[in-house]
Amino acid sequence: MDDTNSLIEQRKAKLDALRAKGIDPFKNKFTPAIGCGEARAKFEKGELAEHAQVSIAGRITAHRDMGKSMFIDVRDQSGRIQVYAQKNTLGDDLFHTFTHLDLGDFVGVTGTLFRTKTGEISVKLGGTFEAGSSRCDDRTAQRAVPTTETAREDARPTNPPFVILAKALRPPPAKWHGLEDTEIRYRQRYLDLMANPEVKDVFLKRSEIIREIRNFLHERGFVEVETPMMQAIPGGAAAQPFKTHHNALGCDFYLRIALELYLKRLLVGGVDKVFEIGRNFRNEGLSRKHNPEFTMLEAYQAFGDYESMMELVESMVKHVAQKVLGTLKISRKQSGAISSAIDKAVKALDELSADGNQVQVLNEMRSQLLDLKNSVGTKPEREIAESAVKAIVQPIADSIGEQNPPESIPETLELLKSTPWIKEFVKAIKSPWFELTLAARNSEIDLNNWRRAKYKDLVRLKVKGKTNGKVPDWFALTPQERRRVAIEDLQMEGDIAKDYADFEVTGAVFEKLIEPTLIQPTFVTHLPKELVPLAKLSPDDPTTVEVFECCIDGQEIAPAYTEQNDPIEQRERLEHQAGGEQQKLDEDFLVALEHGMPPAGGMGMGIDRLCMMLLGQESIRDVILFPQLKPK
């Protein structure tokens, strides 16, 4: 802190010195004619010639003092370019002023393009050689600086070669080129954007993604609308709302938890294709995939159904990926997940070692895992994950005389359980091992291929595999048997609350054991009716509804329904969901439905999760500019 205060005082002293010379950085103006990155690119392509005159502006991100000359890097949104200042060109007074510049300052620069001896594209400070303008266009930019001494004397700059536009009184983060402190990155995002160009690129691409979503829907004739964010009754989802008070109206309101019910009112009103992109608020937990304030897209189409919504979602995601990324094959960033899984495994091994069983084997495993964690970022992620899986399996297999351990988790678990002391090991290591295996198998998402699978079929198949055929049909069990199998055979005791209804037990099996494995695009269809009270029942199975959840990269991206338009059926199901609490019913919505709503398909898409998947980000906080944090 003392060092920071000292640097701040030094910078304030420089500001005072500048003002004493009649220069106030906060009152200057300067309009750049071209972006820093744009100037570099055009020079590289030959669109701007050697000695072409340019006018650029941006923040100073590097500073190198060579005595009678100085180099600085100037960066704007388009990129970076090096600027070269010579004392014998600027003169003593201007060069002395230039020495008052610090990292983080904003500066406007006018000069000529050239390459240094090392090949670095740079701007040599020299001012504007045409009176009355601090700008340069393509024509003036192509004019070479005079090369003879006489010409130089005749063409002295009529505008200053640089203008100080803002003085940064605080120094940049200690590690300017690559801020890594997660707390600072999220709490002071502006520093993150300054220090990490790749982070800025993520948020610029997020903007492009939202723009292309809008373009896609507008091309299909959808109308964008805005609906209330404060609602008397928070409907459209089962979630805990945030509560506020409206002073003028003298009553409480809730921040919306979904967009759905107001958009359906518009279907009743005759707006046949409608969508909204807006903020939702849910007063619930924080996690890698959840933020209390998040951005949703919801779209509704009269005379559609969940099948038409499948086509809409698939086509839209492909369109956005192709337009923004130029590809339908997305690389998965998994370094964080791999490091986290290794940490969990090491912690489990430490706890197991404390019991005194097979300490040498466990320590060997621990050592290998820590070496692999240290290689994250220097080796291919898939290679690290595969090696970590092997590091866990091989020592155990060697200890029981198994030369070729099976690769699949279920077979290996059974092999290991055949030795009594390993039962506790299997239980402890199961979760991180599962995560590492997933990372080893899926390094890329292919948006060319979209799979469809029924919810019940996926659950049956997973439970049958996990129990080695002991439970061939999960849905043939009684509710009591399903709870017992989930806790004992699937080892999900910590995931099954005592008050869980039967459908919630099945939901936990899906969320914990199935959803994380759905890396490639998958439409999971025909969900239990209890999960989605706003959808129509499936004609071939009235215990399910015409719904899909689009899962990509191990998480739900977009649910969609064949919307319920029977007002009597809708009232019954919402009353059941409300548990007899009449105040939770949105009567105005039910009255609107009684006026007649056309059959329709509707979908919701989490914009934040879509951006995570497309931009290769492992945490939702890395695609939200200012995520919620506890105040200091």
| Residues 487-515 pLDDT 10s | 999 989 888 988 899 999 999 999 999 99
Number of other residues whose CB lies within 10 A of the CB of residue 493: 9
Q: What is the pLDDT of residue 108?
A: 96
The closest alpha carbon to 58, from 86, 90, 35, 26, belongs to 35
Q: Could you give the residue ranges of the DSSP H alpha helices within 71-224?
A: 87-90, 92-98, 138-141, 149-154, 182-187, 189-195, 197-219
Superfamily of domain 2-172: Nucleic acid-binding proteins (2.40.50.140)
pLDDT above 90: residue 293 = yes
Whether the pLDDT of residue 258 is over 90: the answer is: yes
- % of the chain exceeding 90 in pLDDT: 65
- Token pair of 428, please? 């402890």
Q: Which two tokens stand for residue 362?
A: 């466990």
Give, rounded to a whole angstrom, the gap between the first and last alpha carbons of the chain: 17
User: By mean pLDDT, which of 207-211, 272-276, 347-351, 450-454 is the weakest?
Assistant: 347-351
Q: Determine the pLDDT at residue 158.
A: 52
Q: Confidence class of residue 452 from pLDDT cuts 50, 70 and 90?
A: very high
- For the record, the structure tokens of 40 come out as 């570099």
- Contacts with 358 (C-beta within 8 Å, 6 or more apart), sequence order: 399, 421
**pLDDT value at position 127?**
56
Residues 6+ apart with CB under 8 A from 581: none
3-state secondary structure of 545: strand
Q: Which of 178-182, 267-271, 324-328, 450-454 has the lowest mean pLDDT?
A: 178-182
If one compares 496 and 208, the residue with the highest pLDDT of the two is 208
Higher local confidence (pLDDT), 296 or 579: 296
Q: What is the pTM of this model?
A: 0.85
CA distance 474 to 298: 33
Q: Return the residue matching tokens 């009594």.
A: 420
* 451 neighbors 522 (Cβ within 8 angstroms): yes
Average pLDDT, the chain: 87
Q: Is residue 131 over pLDDT 50?
A: no
Model pLDDT, residue 324: 98
pLDDT at 391: 85
Query: If we measure between CA atoms, which residue out of 251, 330, 257, 243 comes closest to residue 292?
Result: 257
Residues 270-278, mean pLDDT to the nearest whole number: 98
- pLDDT band at 78, cuts 50/70/90? very high
Query: Where does the pLDDT of residue 583 fall: very low under 50, low under 70, confident under 90, or very high at 90 and above?
Result: low
β strands within 66-115, DSSP E: 69-76, 79-86, 106-115
Q: Contact at 8 Å (CB) between 37 and 199? A: no
**Mean pLDDT to the nearest integer, 145-152:** 37
In this predicted structure, the answer to whether residue 426 has a pLDDT above a threshold of 90 is no
> How far apart (Å, rounded) are the C-alpha atoms in residues 497 and 2?
51
Instruction: Indicate the helix (H) or strand (E) that contains 62.
Output: strand 53-65
440: confidence class by pLDDT, cuts 50, 70, 90? confident
pLDDT over 60 at 148, yes or no: no
Mean pLDDT confidence for 318-344: 92
pLDDT at 334 over 90: no
Question: Of 165 and 135, which is predicted with more confidence?
Answer: 165
Check: CB of residue 315 under 8 Å from CB of residue 299: no
The pLDDT value recorded for residue 506 is 96
Report the pLDDT value the prediction gives residue 421, as an integer from 0 to 100.
Answer: 65
Joined tokens for residue 183: 């707390």
Number of CB atoms found within 10 A of residue 92's CB: 9
C-alpha pair distances (Å), 295 with each of 122, 292, 357, 605: 41, 10, 50, 9
Sequence-ordered list of residues with C-beta below 8 angstroms from that of 553, at least 6 positions apart, any chain: 332, 445, 519, 612, 613
Domain ranges in the chain are: 2-172, 335-441
Q: What is the mean pLDDT of residues 204-225?
A: 98
Question: Token pair for residue 127?
Answer: 């001012």
What would the pLDDT profile of 33-61 be if each residue is shown by its tens digit? Answer: 999 999 999 999 999 999 999 999 999 99
Provide the CA 310 distance to its chain's centre, in angstroms: 23
Which of the 8 DSSP states describes residue 172?
A: P
Check residues 433 and 106 and name the one with the higher pLDDT: 106
Digit-coded pLDDT (tens) for 229-250 = 999 999 888 889 999 999 999 9
Q: How far apart are CA 472 and CA 475, in angstroms?
A: 9
Q: Please give the average per-residue pLDDT across 469-495, as a whole number.
A: 93
Q: What is the pLDDT of residue 332?
A: 87
Tell me how far CA of residue 338 lies from CA of 377, 427, 623, in angstroms: 11, 19, 20
Query: How sure is the predictor about 251, in pLDDT bands with cuts at 50, 70 and 90?
Result: very high
- Confidence check: pLDDT of 354 > 60: yes
In tens, the pLDDT along 520-559 reads: 999 999 999 988 888 899 999 999 999 999 999 999 999 9
Flag whether pLDDT at 408 surpasses 60. Answer: no
Mean pLDDT, residues 88-109: 94
Q: Using 50, 70 and 90 to split pLDDT, how confident is the model at 410?
A: very low
Q: β-pairing, 79-86 with 451-454?
A: unpaired
SS3 labels along 546-574: CEEEEEECCEEEEEEEEECCCHHHHHHHH
396 pLDDT tier (thresholds 50, 70, 90): low
Cβ burial, residue 133 (10 Å; 0-12/13-18/19+): middle
Question: How far is Cα 527 from Cα 532, in angstroms, rounded to an integer?
Answer: 8
Mean pLDDT score, 176-187: 75
Residue 134's pLDDT is: 36
